[in-house]
Structure 1
Amino acid sequence: MQELKRSTIPRVGILTYHFSDNYGACLQAYGLRQWLLKNGAEAEFINYVPRHVEAGGRLQSPFSKTGLKANLKVAFLWLSRLKQDVFGNADQRDMFKTFQEETLGVTGERLTTAEAVQGYLGGKGAHLDMLVCGSDQIWAASLQNGIDPVYYLSFPDGSPKARRISYAPSFGRAGLDPVHHNEVSGYLSAFEGLSAREKSGVKLVHDLTGREAAWVPDPTILLGDFSEFLEEHEAEVQGDHVFCYGLRTASGIREAAEAAGKFTGSPVLSPFNPHRRWREVGTTIYPSPAQWVTYLAKSKFVVTNSFHGTVFSILFRKPFITVELPGARSELNERSRSLLNALGLEERLVNGTDAAQVQEMLNRPIDWNEVSPRLEAMQKAGRMYLKNELLAVS
């Protein structure tokens, strides 16, 4: 990238799930900001923390079409947050807060509504030259809130001169409920630059707008280098374990992790998940986001049903299995499936309850020489997309 003069350094505001006590959310936020900083931009997170993402949001009328299911989701998230606040690991909560404030550089008061974000962009945030939404599942419709216009950069009264682009947002699934098509189409039409994390997302953008979106990788892949975390925590993290990172369910992942433990002769360690409703798999640990990276990097084997668990296994060239989410959650496999297919690793996505399939993957090594050029091509695409967008405002 050409050298940017001080007077033309792009000032970038990022809207994503930077606030979540979730390893993948924090690390993808870190990846995007860190890459921007290393490539001549000033980058900050717009501290939008909507209540519906983790605290549940507002209850709906029980007589509406989706009211009952939506209210159950609100209640679950609210109770999960209360349980975490009262009974959760206080040290781990503090580590997430420290990571968000010190490593991500999040400052300023929390903005909880679209109106508050617009007010910020019209005032303290008016200096921004570019607004970036992404990555993570920010374009997914939630059961209790539907589409969040803020994550589609829909605030016409705030930062009217700022260039608006997306970087690797995900719809979470291969499709979008048709009830949201017109709304999302309108939001997307206002973007100067469009990209998506999954090929299905690229197709959906085209179907809704007729525009071509760039296919770019998650910010963790974009950055690629997390060595500073290893240097910071390597001495305190012992290796030779199976790293089991499970979200949403223990179905399949428990069986696969236990099989991996027997295969390697190593203990199974599982990072704590505040939404866990199942008995622990192996031994529960409570790492910070940086320690989470280090535990994964120093493992013998990784078993996960998480997209970011899959990403970091690839970045650190760890033997791994990605366990399919079953039943109603199966649509969420699109994120990992898209990545694995692109890298020629589709066979690593397995049914965790299929003992023969799991054992086959435990015995089959990964040819990283085949994977590397594909991964590098993905990184190049993401980096070129962002470099061109930065040059457009410099």
Structure 2
Amino acid sequence: MKIGILTFNWAINYGAVLQMYAEYKYLSKDNEVYVINYVPDYFANMYNKRIFYTQIRFKTAIKKLMEKFIKFEQYKKFEKFINENMLLTEKAKNRNELSKIINKFDLVIVGSDQVWNYDITKEYIGDYLLYNINCNKISYAASLGKNEIKRELVDLFCESLEKFDFVSLREKTSIDYVNKICKGKKYNLCIDPVFLISSNEWKKISENSNYKIPRNGYVLVYMLEYNPNLLKTARYLSEKYNIPVLSIEIPFIRFFGKNFGIKKLHDVGPIDFVKLFLKAKYILTNSFHGTAFSLIFHKPFISFAHSKVNSRMENLLSLYQLENVQIKNTLNNFEIVEEILKKTQKAYSNLENKEISKVIENSKQYLVEALKKIELKLKREKHEK
């Protein structure tokens, strides 16, 4: 079957690219799979490497100039990883071009990632819902990114989801919410695609990285928003175990007070990202995918609450019976740090008895059954012609 994946292929973002890769790799075992290269100018400009593509203030231009030089290697590695590991369609910049590409596929899978988060997609939300686009369509672990949808978008969501052959979401809270506003359809809970391939497969991928790392271990920081508690904890662990702190930096330059002795890494590609998580002694993160890879590699780690999109991490942690281990408030003593590290390590025992194993298996089964039914539908349509 010829399948197109519609997700955020334009994002220079570790989670976005690695979840896309995992979904692509898993589906490619038995299908001809492409990533739909949908990049309207609005999205392209988020990571535009040009400095003066539009009129901007002098200070902004200086910042972009710094980003261009500092992040050049990082951008290059992302581009190389995508081009070498996935097949992309021709580029579509608008809805008409997207529809023409979609017509070439037997099935379109929307997701994973926050494809149904209006704060990201803005006026393109209808495209990611495939609104009024006639095709065989399912979603896989699509995320709303938050606990509810804007009131003015409810009708669009319900009308669009009704036309999907199968729908799965990434968070249980989203399923509970969508069940209330868009009744009459079954909504499935599916795990983020990074869990569809095994830790051994991720380890094998990391072997392609030649990124140099400290021999005697390190504390890894992956911070999507500034968090002083996270930085204090990094310094504490660094001093206690006499190991350095490495920080994987996001694609945008940010400045925050003291650097706490942290070495910022601006040249980390997707494969390097996997390697850094695999080899870390301790991990501190307020990222969903940072949490995911910590769990995949069975690392002692601490999850710090994110101010806007924390429900995703809470849902994921609960699958490992790690409820109430996040640091959410001011950190007053480091005894809490030690307790959480011990709890995360204990969570990896008897994983087959934990909810995570069931959800992974159910997610794979969801894809198997959905694809089978689409294949039968295609055969029936062909026969009727």
Q: Shorter-chain-normalised TM-score: which range?
A: 0.7 to 0.9
Contact 2:301–2:344 under 8 Å retained in 1: no
Contact 2:322–2:343 under 8 Å retained in 1: no
- What corresponds to 1:226 in structure 2? 202
- Deviation larger for 279-288 or 26-35: 279-288
- What corresponds to 2:301 in structure 1? 320
- What corresponds to 1:301 in structure 2? 282
Q: Which runs of structure 2 are paired with 1:149-188 in the superposition (5 Å)?
A: 149-156=126-133, 160=134, 162-188=135-161
- What corresponds to 2:337 in structure 1? 358
Q: Quote the offset at 1:116 in angstroms.
A: 1.9
- What corresponds to 1:212 in structure 2? 186
Aligned-partner Cα distance in 2 for 1:306–1:51: 27
Match of 1:190 among 160, 163, 168: 163
Shift in CA distance, 200/49, structure 1 to aligned 2, threshold 3 Å: same
Match of 2:232 among 231, 247, 255: 255
Please list the CA deviations of residues 142-184 of structure 1 after superposition, one character each: whole Å capped at 9, or x if unmatched.
Answer: 278256111112242xxx3x42100001111122222221121
Contact 2:158–2:181 under 8 Å retained in 1: yes
- Deviation larger for 110-119 or 314-323: 110-119
Aligned residues: 353
Contact 1:11–1:130 under 8 Å retained in 2: yes
Contact 2:38–2:98 under 8 Å retained in 1: yes
Q: Quote the offset at 1:56 in angstroms.
A: 5.2
Aligned-partner Cα distance in 2 for 1:113–1:37: 27
Q: Quote the offset at 1:92 in angstroms.
A: 1.4
Please list the CA deviations of residues 161-216 of structure 1 after superposition, one character each: whole Å capped at 9, or x if unmatched.
Answer: x4210000111112222222112111111101000000011122212221221101
- What corresponds to 2:24 in structure 1? 33
Matched position secondary structure for 1:112: coil
- What corresponds to 2:69 in structure 1? 87
The TM-score, its normalising length taken from structure 1, stands at 0.82
Please list the CA deviations of residues 286-326 of structure 1 after superposition, one character each: whole Å capped at 9, or x if unmatched.
Answer: 2110111001100001100000000000000000001112x
Aligned-partner Cα distance in 1 for 2:120–2:143: 16
- Deviation larger for 228-237 or 185-194: 228-237
Match of 1:203 among 151, 176, 187: 176
Q: Quote the offset at 1:141 in angstroms.
A: 0.9
Contact 1:264–1:300 under 8 Å retained in 2: no
Matched position secondary structure for 2:374: coil
Letter in structure 2 aligned against 1:154: Y
Letter in structure 1 aligned against 2:81: F
Matched position secondary structure for 1:145: helix
Indicate the percent of aligned positions where both proteins have the same amino acid.
Answer: 26
Matched position secondary structure for 1:284: strand
Q: Quote the offset at 1:276 in angstroms.
A: 4.1
Contact 1:320–1:348 under 8 Å retained in 2: no
Contact 2:283–2:302 under 8 Å retained in 1: yes
Aligned-partner Cα distance in 2 for 1:359–1:276: 31
- What corresponds to 2:264 in structure 1? 284
Q: Quote the offset at 1:353 in angstroms.
A: 3.4
- What corresponds to 1:69 in structure 2? none
- What corresponds to 1:129 in structure 2? 106
Q: Quote the offset at 1:105 in angstroms.
A: 2.8
- Alignment pair present for 1:267 and 2:275: no
Contact 2:3–2:109 under 8 Å retained in 1: yes
- What corresponds to 2:14 in structure 1? 23
Structure 1 segments unaligned to the other structure (5+ residues): 1-9, 58-73
Shift in CA distance, 363/369, structure 1 to aligned 2, threshold 3 Å: closer
- Alignment pair present for 1:392 and 2:382: no
Aligned-partner Cα distance in 1 for 2:129–2:31: 22
- What corresponds to 1:369 in structure 2? 349
Aligned-partner Cα distance in 2 for 1:308–1:194: 22
Contact 1:202–1:213 under 8 Å retained in 2: yes
- What corresponds to 2:292 in structure 1? 311
Please list the CA deviations of residues 56-105 of structure 1 after superposition, one character each: whole Å capped at 9, or x if unmatched.
Answer: 59xxxxxxxxxxxxxxxx99xx9799457633321111111101111233
- Deviation larger for 193-202 or 204-213: 204-213
Shift in CA distance, 143/92, structure 1 to aligned 2, threshold 3 Å: closer
Letter in structure 2 aligned against 1:214: N
Aligned-partner Cα distance in 1 for 2:273–2:340: 24
Shift in CA distance, 383/146, structure 1 to aligned 2, threshold 3 Å: same
- What corresponds to 2:378 in structure 1? none
Contact 1:199–1:215 under 8 Å retained in 2: yes
Aligned-partner Cα distance in 2 for 1:88–1:177: 38
Letter in structure 1 aligned against 2:69: F
Aligned-partner Cα distance in 2 for 1:249–1:181: 33
RMSD between aligned residues: 2.6
